Structure 1
Amino acid sequence: MHQAFIYGALMIGLVWGGVMPSQARSAPLPVRVVVVTTFEIGHDTGDIPGEFQNWVEKLPLSQTISAPGTEHELLRYNPQLHVLGMVSGEGPTHMAAAITALALDPRFDLRHAYFVLAGIAGMNPHAGTVASAAWAGHVVNGGEAHLIDPRETPASWPDGFTPVQGSVPNERPRPPLHSIAGDMAFTLRPSLVQWAYGLTKDVPMPDNAALEAVRQTYHMFPEALKKPHVMIGDTLSAETFWVGGRMNDWAERWVSYWTDGQGKMVTTAEEDIALCQALTLQGKAGRVDPQRILILRSASNFDMPPSGKAPADMLAAEAHEEGFVGLKASTDAAYEAASPVVRELATHWARYKTQVP
């Protein structure tokens, strides 16, 4: 019974990973770069592109690999570049599950792989504009907190958010970043982030008349009026799709607080904290290298309305897709900014396999 139980468990694990025992004995597929996206619209090719389609069609990622038990149910691979592409599904839960499943899959050798998340995000108009792309230096958890309803928040507080291990918004000393209360912030390898930015800072970003019209409504925000460009900027990761100037003020404060004043909130997205958490845990088992993470977020929309407009009106416009004029531009920007990094890593593997920039 005991041996049968062990064999059955092994079979379940192998089938969940998408391979049968005979396949598991073969050498794992070498992977130099994992391109991580969070959603696709419709099919992977030939229709309206989400985050994944540009990679499939342009890099390209022509080979399909079954991935049962995952949101997208398949991976894509470029056998010449040894680049693997995936769609995690939206939200931190999907991301954590997808990355963990991938790291445990015996079909792939990810020990030296670089993970490049290339996805869209909301943009802080104090920091940038729609269709710009930002390489994150810090990822801050915007979902792990105590929260008092704004109607009951003390008048002296800037907002109702406090650390889980605290009772006031700016608890001092600041609680630890990684504890039983959760992972609050990750700092990506600074030299790698600077290297990626240096490689792509002059790459032109998409622009059009519709984007210019949106920019002009933010006349009180100098950074929002600039043309789209590649930049360095930190990301706040939270599952709640928040909107508005007061929430933006909180996000700026929260990022500054958890980075000891070193970080600046530029983009807001959902999945980044889960990517860092999952890869850090799998790194402890030697399956991946957490020093090889890059996160690029391109802006599909602003996270707050222009002066004189209400957040509820902004939400209503976005619900009818009127506020997402930057969707296609942002998915294009994510590919245009991240693909030179992916190609550089993959085509000069003899250098980057053992030497992380």
Structure 2
Amino acid sequence: MNVKTPLKRVVNRCTPRKLPVARTALTVALAASCTFGVCLPGIAQDSDAFARQVNPGNGRDVKVMIISMFGPEGQVWLDNLGPWKAIKVPGLSPDYPEVHCNRHDVCVLTTGMGHANAAASLMALTFSDKFDLRRTYFMIAGIAGIDPAQGTLGSAAWAKYLVDFGIQWELDAREKPDSWPSGFLGINTQSPTDKPLLDYRTEVFALNAKLADTAFALSKNVQLQDSSDAQMARVKFNHPPANQPPKVIQCDTLAGDTWWSGKYIGERARYWTKLLTDNKGTYCTTQQEDNATYEALKRAASTGRVDLGRVAALRSGSDFDRPYDGQSASDNLLNYAKQGGFGPAIENLYRAGNPLVQDIVTHWDEWRDGVPSR
């Protein structure tokens, strides 16, 4: 279930110089790696070499770019890290036409919800001449549905893998073969258990594990916010961690623009994540935008504007992706707002994400050339 807010979905929503072709090709080649059996642009391995491949830009330097998807996700940062300067960027969402930056070179971008908005806004940002993003750390920070086998309402999860749930074939469950566990299967495969060829090149991305581990280490002991409504919703589950207080965790995130709820689709989400990551990833949060966001950053990285080794993804649980025993999937979906996880999930984006932001800003001499070894 991709859940944003218990309010109505329309809320108060609050260039470097061109490179010679040969040098551009060299930059892309240095950053390329083969992942999951398909050659995909990957993490730049040598930050100094990466920086040397591009000429200096004239835009504003940014140490951290926080990427939110809708108003409340961005507002929690604006409320805590100001004062801010608003910078209008052509091509951003008309609902969120400005990037806000503070005096410590921390900026907040709100993309608009869904794959299309996320990709369009990131492309507008990264190809704008208003910012120099070559050494910027990007932190996706948004709320999500959460698997009760991995976390609970308010839990904040750092991901190492981004998996797209939408790039599949699907049959209505009433028309699937009886032997299939669900109506989902990979495109151009013969059964739900076959791994597809990843022809889209956006089905799965591996983030910089060193950055994810550092972010987790910095935040794992923070006190997360809770609510009485979330506590009441939790006790309806008879197992941990669903019925335990929220904490910072590590597990992976699944993107798809169709909101969903239920045990069987949830089981497919778990299996799909394992299948596409060669059993390395563990599904725990469901949202809409992250693969689209990363693909836009990957396009920018291919021109030397962005370092893909500096992308982190944090998602906090605002609702359970499936019902508790005795509850229907439809009730879990239609009444998601009553679970009480929205408020804590928004606040915990800041509480879990801010330690990374502050460490980067405070110790920029360590972070400037890449994720430090500690």
Output the TM-score relative to the length of structure 1: 0.85
Among candidates 138, 142, 150, match of residue 127 of structure 1: 150
Counterpart Cα distance in 1 of 2:297 and 2:332: 35
Matched, 1:166 2:185: no
Q: Distance in 2 between matches of 1:222 and 1:64?
A: 43
Question: Does the CA contact (< 8 Å) of 2:90 and 2:124 recur in 1?
Answer: no
Tell me the distance in 2 between the aligned counterparts of 1:312 and 1:83: 41
Deviations 1:162-198 (A, max 9, x none): 1113121111xx3344x3x341111111111111101
Name which of 82, 86, 91 aligns with 1:60: 82
Supply the distance in 2 between the matched residues of 1:269 and 1:352 (Cα, whole angstroms).
29
**C-alpha distance in 2, partners of 1:166/1:305?**
30
Q: 2:206 is aligned with what amino acid? A: T
1:189 aligns with 2:208: yes
**Partners of 1:190 and 1:214 in 2: how far apart?**
33
Pick one of 332, 336, 347 that aligns with 1:332. Answer: 347
SS of structure 2 residue aligned to 1:27: coil
Instruction: Please give the per-residue CA displacement for 1:207-227, whole angstroms capped at 9, x wherever unaligned.
Output: 2322211110112x3210111
Distance across 2 between alignment mates of 1:254 and 1:230: 24
Corresponding residue of 2:40: none
Secondary structure of 2:335's partner? helix
Conserved in 1, the CA contact under 8 Å of 2:260 and 2:333? no
SS of aligned partner of 1:122: strand
SS in 1 for 2:154: coil
Say what the alpha-carbon RMSD is for the aligned residues. 1.5
Match of 1:202 in 2: 221
Distance 1:192 1:68 in 2: 30
Unaligned runs of 5+ in 1: 1-25, 41-49
> Which of the residues 55, 64, 69 maps onto 1:38?
69
**Aligned partner of residue 183 in structure 1, secondary structure:** coil
Counterpart contact for 1:61–1:76, Cα < 8 Å:
no
Query: What is the distance in 2 between the residues matched to 1:246 and 1:162?
Result: 13
CA distance in 2, matches of 1:154, 1:185: 27
Q: 1:298 aligns with which of 310, 316, 334?
A: 316
Equivalent position amino acid for 2:74 in 1: F
2:255 to 226, 230, 237: 237
Q: Is 2:73 aligned against 1:51?
A: yes
Aligned runs of 1:270-309 on 2, under 5 Å?
A: 270-309=288-327
Q: Does 1:105 align with 2:128?
A: yes
**How far apart, in 1, do the equivalents of 2:229 and 2:185 lie?**
39
Measure the CA separation in 2 of the matches of 1:68 and 1:108: 12
1:285–1:165 Cα change, 3 Å: farther
TM-score, L = length of structure 2: 0.81
SS in 1 for 2:92: coil
CA contact (8 A) 1:118 1:297 kept: yes
Letter in 2 for 1:127: Q
Cα distance in 1 for partners of 2:249, 2:347 equals: 16
1:63 and 1:77 in contact (8 A); partners too? yes
Partner of 1:175: 196
Aligned-residue identity in percent: 34
Instruction: After TM superposition, give the deviation of residue 61 of structure 1 in Å.
Output: 5.0
2:92 counterpart of 1:76: no
The one-character-per-residue Cα deviations of 1:114-166 (angstroms, maximum 9, x if unpaired) are 10011100010111100010000111010101111111111111211111131
Instruction: Measure, in 2, the Cα distance between the counterparts of 1:307 and 1:175.
Output: 33
Larger Rg: 1
2: distance between equivalents of 1:84 and 1:143? 30
In structure 2, give the amino acid aligned to 1:292: R
Task: Report the Cα distance in structure 2 between the residues aligned to 1:291 and 1:176, rounded to whole angstroms.
Answer: 25
Q: Which amino acid is 1:38 matched to?
A: M
Q: Is the 8 A contact 1:61 1:85 kept in 2?
A: no
Q: Tell me the SS of whatever aligns to 1:58.
A: coil
Q: Distance in 2 between matches of 1:310 and 1:260?
A: 32
Query: By how many angstroms is 1:260 displaced?
Result: 1.0
- Equivalent in the alignment of 1:93: 116
